[in-house]
Amino acid sequence: MDLARFPRRRYSEGPTPIQRMDRFAEAVKRDGPAIFLKRDDQLGLTGGGNKARKLEFLVADALSRGADTLITCGGVQSNHCRLTLAATVKEGLKCRLILAESAPGAYRPDGGGNVLLYHLLGAEKIITVPWGTDLQAALDQASEQAKTEGRRPCVIPLGGSNPVGALGYIDAAQELLIQAKDMGLTFHHIVLPVGSVGTLAGLVLGLRANGSRVPVIGASVLNRREKAEAIAWELVRTTETFLSIEPCVTRDDIFCPDDYLGEGYTIPTEGMIEAVRLLARTEGILLDPTYTGKAMACLMDMVRKGRFMKGENVLFLHTGGAPGLYARPEIFR
Contacts with ligand PLP by CB under 6 A lie at 49-50, 79-80, 159, 161, 193-200, 288, 291-292, 319-321
Count CA atoms closer than 13 A to 197's CA, side-chain side.
25
Q: Which is nearer to ligand PLP, 139 or 146 (CB)?
A: 139
Residue 52 CB, nearest approach to ligand PLP (Å): 10
Residue number with the smallest Cβ distance to ligand PLP: 321
Residue 288 CB, nearest approach to ligand PLP (Å): 5
Could you say which of 78, 161, 196, 212 is catalytic?
A: 78
Q: Which is nearer to ligand PLP, 16 or 292 (CB)?
A: 292
Residue 233 CB, nearest approach to ligand PLP (Å): 14
Residue 46 CB, nearest approach to ligand PLP (Å): 13
Residue 196 CB, nearest approach to ligand PLP (Å): 3
**Cβ atoms within 10 A of the Cβ of 304, count?**
12
Is residue 212 flagged as an active site residue? no
Q: Would you name the residues annotated as active-site residues?
A: 78
